[in-house]
Structure 1
């Protein structure tokens, strides 16, 4: 189970991207952190203590090696086992990736020795928020191209599934939800449905607690952890606003927008500005000349963010 220290680390690394991505939704950083804790907290809480980059940690977040064991026992969704996966188009390619993903992760995370020892075992869940391999049938490129390795991609899918969960329990029009309501949405995220009469005792049961109960516990723990995202410092950054990021004449939205920088634009942060140090003064051409200011929540260090077509949206 991820500790308060683990959660603090996670929020420090990913809060900026999450804050930008949840803008306009009823979700917040602690809610998304709770999902990450439940889905792969046992993985990244170990990986963070190894000498690995943030990108590598996100890429190694895979899991779920349980195969079909009979009716109502073990895995019931595609792929039931190796043979089931191999029976589908490009299933052989996917098994190679899935098997390597298990071996790579298990090299750092104890407890998977038994699975690695069995040549037919492979991982079924991919990314920090665990998109299940059952979706290989409808979206094979997501898995074959290893898009799940990028935090921005796995976060995007998480938010789409949470949006479906909102609709499932009739909260899609809400601009905010309570922590209990979020746990209910998370149950729908996990199972595809929700029964009000069962409360939080729904979703995967590990013999101790249900998925919904764990989400509630992790959310409460995350709310108790104060953690600031890494401060913006001078150096190369990348724009992560899907619709582009406004370059302004000063450090605030009251200043004129000079142009819109497309997603994946690389820029050089020269100085920090604004009342809360959340604006960056930038040099677009890396020629020593200052071009304007951008809001810091929509840029990330270039070294930790390979180009991705799935970006967050700058509001306003």
Structure 2
């Protein structure tokens, strides 16, 4: 899906979002069930789709109203060329998208069964080339941003460097702690303006199992106490729980839709939320906009192909 032309009356109100993160080529095989160890199983469909949480969030922010720049790495290979062309087609600034001389483009090997269960292996490849020196080299790009968005699919020391640069430069920082295998280092939280985990990631980071919005409230409070200024826990079809620095927290229900595929719903929410913050919208309005965008995405198949344009979001 190519980028939709901007409404000329809307361009002046666009903010600038810089996404520091991963780009992968998703290799998706569909089969009746997941294979057992050592088993060869006949599948019935295959797709090769641009992905990576960084790439997805950059595309979402661009389609949903922001001027976007991508800071990351692809390999010197056909997958890398495809990912770069895809971002450029969305009018995303790729001046800070490097090409690795030593590693292939990252890939995700995904098997999905007929019950929509999956098994995924991610190979970082060129995503590992994002280093603190990379962040320092592109500080001027970060200085021009309104909002900086990070995830955890690039080396942790580089993510911290990007968040620290954002804090030093007075920028709004967003961290999507995915994938979250362990808790974050304690000194990270003070660098984050908006910590946006899903319920599993929030449970991992807080040590509190989440089954209800009230559980999400307790987890958000624990993460807020660790130093994150604002915590927004995404709960899928149950909406989000937002604990902002100036409030006691609120559960916001998700729009009611018939979901077909939830892939990239969280990335769409984050991209829409970042785009609205960059435009100067109030936080509550940005959350609502992100939810509406995610609600459209889950009614479509795929990751990046499901992400809507701003004109498709009900206001």
Larger strand share, 1 or 2: 2
Which structure is larger by alpha-carbon Rg, 1 or 2? 1
TM-score, structure 2 as length reference: 0.25
- TM-score (norm: length of structure 1): 0.25
